[in-house]
Chains A and B, each alone.
Chain A
Amino acid sequence: MTNTGKIPKVDQTTRYDVLVVGAGLAGLRAALAVDPQLSCVVLSKVYPVRSHSVAAQGGINAALDAEDQWQHHAFDTIKGSDYLADQDAAEFMCEDAQRAVYEMEHWGTLFSRRPDGRIAQRSFGGQGYPRACYAADKTGRALYQTLFERAVARRIAVFEEFFVLSLVVAERRVAGVLAIEIASGRLIAIPARAVIFATGGAGMMYARTTNPYIATGDGLAIAYRAGVPLKDMEFVQFHPTTLPGMNVLITEGARGEGAYLLNAEHDRFMGRYAPKLMEVAPRDIVSRAIETEILEGRGFADAYVHLDLRHLGDDLIRHRLSEIYDFAITYRGINPVRDPVPVQPGQHYIMGGIATGIEGQTELAGLYAAGECAAVSVHGANRLGANSLLDTLVFGRQAGLAASRFCREAGQGPPIPEQHWQGWADRLADLRSHAGRDHYAPIRRQLRATMTDSVGTFRDAKHLAAARATLRALRDAYAHAGVTDSGTVFNYDLLAFVETGFLLDVAATVVEGALLREESRGAHWRRDYPARDDEKFLKHFLFTWSAEGPVVGEAPVVVTHYQPKPRTY
Chain B
Amino acid sequence: MGSDVLFQVMRYDPRRDVEPYWAEYPVAVDDGDTVLMGLMRIREDIDGSLAFRASCRSGICGSDGMVINGRSRLACKTQVAAVVSDRGRVVLEPLRNLRYVKDLVVDQTPFWQKFRRVEPYLMPEEPRSAAERPMVLPQAEFDRLSKASDCIFCEICYSECPINGVDRGFLGPQALIKAFRFEFDPRDDGAAARYAPLSNVEGAWRCRTTFNCTDSCPKGIPITEGIQRLKRKLVGELLSGMQPAYRTPMPVESPEETSS
Q: Does A112 contact B (CB under 8 A)?
A: yes
In this complex, what residue of B is CB-closest to A153? B121
In this complex, what residue of B is CB-closest to A186? B260
**What residues of chain A lie closer than 8 Å to B53, measured between beta carbons?**
46, 50
Residue among A142, A245, A249 with the highest chain B CB neighbour number at 10 A: A245
Q: Does A47 contact B (CB under 8 A)?
A: yes
Q: Which of A9, A138, A489 contacts B150 (CB under 8 A)? A: A138
- Known A108-B185, A141-B152, A489-B14; judge A49-B139 contact (CB<8 A): no
Not counting A52-B55, A245-B32, A490-B101, a sample of 6 additional A-B residue pairs whose C-beta atoms are within 8 angstroms of each other reads A6-B257, A102-B135, A106-B127, A444-B44, A487-B16, A487-B49
0/1 interface trace, chain B 169-185, chain A, CB 8 Å (1 if under): 00000000000001001
Binds A, one of B107-115, B201-209, B231-239: B107-115
**What residues of chain A lie closer than 8 Å to B226, measured between beta carbons?**
none
- Closest Cβ of chain A to B42, distance in Å, is 11
CA distance A2 to B43 in the complex (A): 35
- Known A212-B61, A248-B57, A487-B13; judge A47-B153 contact (CB<8 A): yes
CA distance A484 to B258 in the complex (A): 30
Binds B, one of A74-82, A294-302, A326-334: A326-334
**What residues of chain B lie closer than 8 Å to A51, measured between beta carbons?**
61
**What residues of chain B lie closer than 8 Å to A108, measured between beta carbons?**
121-122, 182, 185, 187-188
CA distance A145 to B219 in the complex (A): 15
CA distance A110 to B37 in the complex (A): 33
**What residues of chain A lie closer than 8 Å to B51, measured between beta carbons?**
485, 489-492
CA distance A350 to B165 in the complex (A): 44
CA distance A102 to B121 in the complex (A): 17
**What residues of chain A lie closer than 8 Å to B258, measured between beta carbons?**
6-7
In the bound complex, do residue A5 and residue B113 qualify as a contact, i.e. CB atoms below 8 Å apart? yes
- Closest Cβ of chain B to A59, distance in Å, is 15
CA distance A444 to B40 in the complex (A): 13
Q: Does B142 contact A (CB under 8 A)?
A: yes
- Closest Cβ of chain A to B192, distance in Å, is 15
**What residues of chain B lie closer than 8 Å to A333, measured between beta carbons?**
32
Q: How many A-B contacts at CB < 8 Å in the complex?
A: 184
**What residues of chain A lie closer than 8 Å to B15, measured between beta carbons?**
487-489
**What residues of chain A lie closer than 8 Å to B105, measured between beta carbons?**
490
Binds B, one of A113-121, A278-286, A409-417, A513-521: A113-121
**What residues of chain B lie closer than 8 Å to A106, measured between beta carbons?**
126-127, 133, 135
- Known A107-B122, A113-B138, A214-B55; judge A439-B48 contact (CB<8 A): yes
Identify the B interface with A (CB < 8 A).
Answer: 13-16, 32, 34, 37, 40, 43-45, 47-49, 51-63, 77, 79, 101-103, 105, 108-109, 112-113, 115-116, 119-123, 125-127, 133, 135-139, 142, 145-146, 149-153, 182, 185, 187-188, 257-260
CA distance A496 to B49 in the complex (A): 11
CA distance A2 to B112 in the complex (A): 13
In the bound complex, do residue B61 and residue A52 qualify as a contact, i.e. CB atoms below 8 Å apart? yes
In the bound complex, do residue B121 and residue A149 qualify as a contact, i.e. CB atoms below 8 Å apart? yes
Q: Does A335 contact B (CB under 8 A)?
A: no
CA distance A464 to B53 in the complex (A): 34
Q: Does A122 contact B (CB under 8 A)?
A: no
Residue among A116, A483, A484 with the highest chain B CB neighbour number at 10 A: A484
- Closest Cβ of chain A to B40, distance in Å, is 8
- Closest Cβ of chain B to A164, distance in Å, is 16
Q: Does A152 contact B (CB under 8 A)?
A: yes
Q: Does A181 contact B (CB under 8 A)?
A: yes
In the bound complex, do residue A330 and residue B150 qualify as a contact, i.e. CB atoms below 8 Å apart? no
CA distance A146 to B146 in the complex (A): 13
List the 7 closest pairs (A to B, CB-CB), nearest first. A108-B122, A484-B48, A485-B49, A117-B136, A5-B112, A149-B121, A441-B44
**What residues of chain B lie closer than 8 Å to A7, measured between beta carbons?**
109, 258-260
0/1 interface trace, chain A 463-500, chain B, CB 8 Å (1 if under): 00000000000000000000111011111110010000
**What residues of chain A lie closer than 8 Å to B121, measured between beta carbons?**
107-108, 149-150, 152-153
CA distance A10 to B259 in the complex (A): 11
**What residues of chain B lie closer than 8 Å to A135, measured between beta carbons?**
146
CA distance A248 to B182 in the complex (A): 31
**What residues of chain B lie closer than 8 Å to A146, measured between beta carbons?**
122
0/1 interface trace, chain A 419-453, chain B, CB 8 Å (1 if under): 00000000000000000000101001100000000
Subset of 26 A-B contacts with CB under 8 Å: A5-B112, A6-B109, A50-B61, A51-B61, A106-B133, A107-B121, A108-B121, A110-B149, A117-B136, A141-B150, A141-B152, A145-B151, A212-B55, A212-B56, A213-B56, A330-B77, A331-B58, A439-B48, A483-B48, A484-B49, A485-B51, A487-B15, A489-B13, A489-B14, A490-B51, A490-B103
**What residues of chain A lie closer than 8 Å to B126, measured between beta carbons?**
106
**What residues of chain B lie closer than 8 Å to A46, measured between beta carbons?**
53, 55, 61, 63
In the bound complex, do residue B55 and residue A110 qualify as a contact, i.e. CB atoms below 8 Å apart? no
**What residues of chain B lie closer than 8 Å to A61, measured between beta carbons?**
none
In this complex, what residue of A is CB-closest to B74? A330
**What residues of chain B lie closer than 8 Å to A496, measured between beta carbons?**
43, 48
**What residues of chain B lie closer than 8 Å to A528, measured between beta carbons?**
none
CA distance A107 to B259 in the complex (A): 31
Q: Does A183 contact B (CB under 8 A)?
A: yes
**What residues of chain A lie closer than 8 Å to B103, measured between beta carbons?**
490
**What residues of chain B lie closer than 8 Å to A141, measured between beta carbons?**
60, 150, 152
Q: Does A39 contact B (CB under 8 A)?
A: no
**What residues of chain A lie closer than 8 Å to B151, measured between beta carbons?**
145
- Known A3-B116, A113-B137, A487-B15; judge A445-B44 contact (CB<8 A): yes
In this complex, what residue of A is CB-closest to B114? A5
In this complex, what residue of B is CB-closest to A118? B136
0/1 interface trace, chain A 300-331, chain B, CB 8 Å (1 if under): 00000000000000000000000100110011
Q: Does A233 contact B (CB under 8 A)?
A: no
In this complex, what residue of B is CB-closest to A214? B55
CA distance A135 to B37 in the complex (A): 29
Q: Does A55 contact B (CB under 8 A)?
A: yes
Q: Does A71 contact B (CB under 8 A)?
A: no
Q: Does A4 contact B (CB under 8 A)?
A: yes
- Closest Cβ of chain A to B254, distance in Å, is 11
- Known A52-B61, A212-B61, A483-B48; judge A490-B102 contact (CB<8 A): yes
0/1 interface trace, chain A 1-40, chain B, CB 8 Å (1 if under): 0111111111000000000000000000000000000000
In the bound complex, do residue B60 and residue A54 qualify as a contact, i.e. CB atoms below 8 Å apart? yes
In this complex, what residue of B is CB-closest to A492? B51
Q: Does A105 contact B (CB under 8 A)?
A: yes
Q: Does A246 contact B (CB under 8 A)?
A: yes
CA distance A517 to B218 in the complex (A): 46
CA distance A113 to B140 in the complex (A): 10
In the bound complex, do residue A113 and residue B44 qualify as a contact, i.e. CB atoms below 8 Å apart? no
